Amino acid sequence: MNALVAIFCTLVLVAGWHYATNSAAVDRLAGVEAGRFNHLRRRLRRLNGVQLLGLAAAIFWLFIELGRLDGPAKNVTRLSIAFGLTMLLLLITLALAVVDMWLTSRLRAAQRRSPPGQ
């Protein structure tokens, strides 16, 4: 079980690093999307990537604390903090994704309104 958790957290860590450092899709949108919205999208994606790095660490810490419940020293406070932090970071991921989807829907609506070829 510990190996699966480590592999999962490593995958989340790599995804966060890639999301924070590689903004190829955002760069391609620069010619289509308004400058300030493109800048906002780039900042949101980088923030979400850094946040995913923290989420990987929080998930790893949560599973370490879950493993400690089997031992004689049961510290439910640390487990609760790890669980709360993990849930908070997941909510932040969701909020940033919703804003990114809003920006995408705004871009698509603008493209539908403009005539083809412009």
Question: Letter for the amino acid at 20?
Answer: A
pTM: 0.78
Distance of alpha carbon 75 from alpha carbon 95, whole angstroms: 31
First to last CA, the chain: 55
Distance of alpha carbon 93 from alpha carbon 14, whole angstroms: 16
Question: Tokens for 112?
Answer: 């539908």
Rounded (5°) CA angle 104-109-114:
125
Q: Is the separation of the CB atoms in 8 and 59 below 8 Å?
A: yes
pLDDT digits (tens, 9 = 90+) for 91-107: 999 999 899 889 888 88
For every one of its 118 residues, what pLDDT tens digit does the chain have, with 9 covering 90 and above? 688 888 989 999 998 888 888 877 777 777 777 788 888 888 888 898 899 999 999 999 999 888 877 766 667 888 899 999 999 999 999 999 899 889 888 888 887 887 665 5
Residue extents of the structural domains in the chain: 2-110
